[in-house]
Amino acid sequence: MAIVNDGHSTTLAFSEDPDIMGIVMFEKEIGPPGMDGGGANDITTMRNTAWRTFAPKKLITLTEVTVTVAYDPVFYNRCVATMKNYPTGFRVRFPDMSQVTFYGYLESFKPNKNVEGAQPTAEMVIRPTNFQSTSFAEAGPTYTA
């Protein structure tokens, strides 16, 4: 087991439109999905004498993926036509070629301000759904080394 020493070149792929990355959008920064336990359940009762007590929740949330991209304006048509709020599979590939795949949807695509002397970029948020959209079966992320 080794750690990754450089984030270049982490990439993203959409199952529904696998050619979109590297043709009309180019990754500049990727915040891979994380995991969140959802906070604590308060289990304090009238029998407690000095401390409030807590227990962990049972379910885990796969957190959103944030991506900064350089983009071709043609993405507007592809986004509206095939992707926005459409559940599909996603893959984040790390520099060591390991990857995490998960189900989700493109929640937002927000262009940043265009300014002279700088490449136009946009911020995207991909929201994990943790279910397979055709069968509605629960499906968490899969990591492949």
Q: Provide the pLDDT for residue 1.
A: 59
The band of 82, judged by pLDDT with boundaries at 50, 70 and 90, is: low
pLDDT at 77: 82
Locate 19 and state its tokens. Answer: 């050619």
> For the segment 2-57, what is each residue's pLDDT rounded down to a tens digit?
789 999 999 999 888 777 888 888 999 999 999 999 999 999 999 999 999 999 99
The pTM of the full predicted model, rounded to 2 decimals, is 0.88
CB 51 within 8 A of CB 61: no
Domain residue ranges of the chain, discontinuous segments joined by +: 11-38+54-144
Radius of gyration of the chain (CA): 19
Please state, in angstroms and rounded to a whole number, the distance separating the CA atoms of residues 135 and 83. 19
CB-side neighbour CA atoms (13 Å) of 145: 3
Give kind and range of the element (H or E) at residue 111: strand 99-111
List 67's β-bridge partners, or say none.
30, 124
Three-state DSSP state, 139: coil
At 88-97, the pLDDT tens digits run 999 999 999 9
User: CATH class for domain 11-38+54-144?
Assistant: mainly beta
Judge contact between 20 and 12, C-beta under 8 A.
no
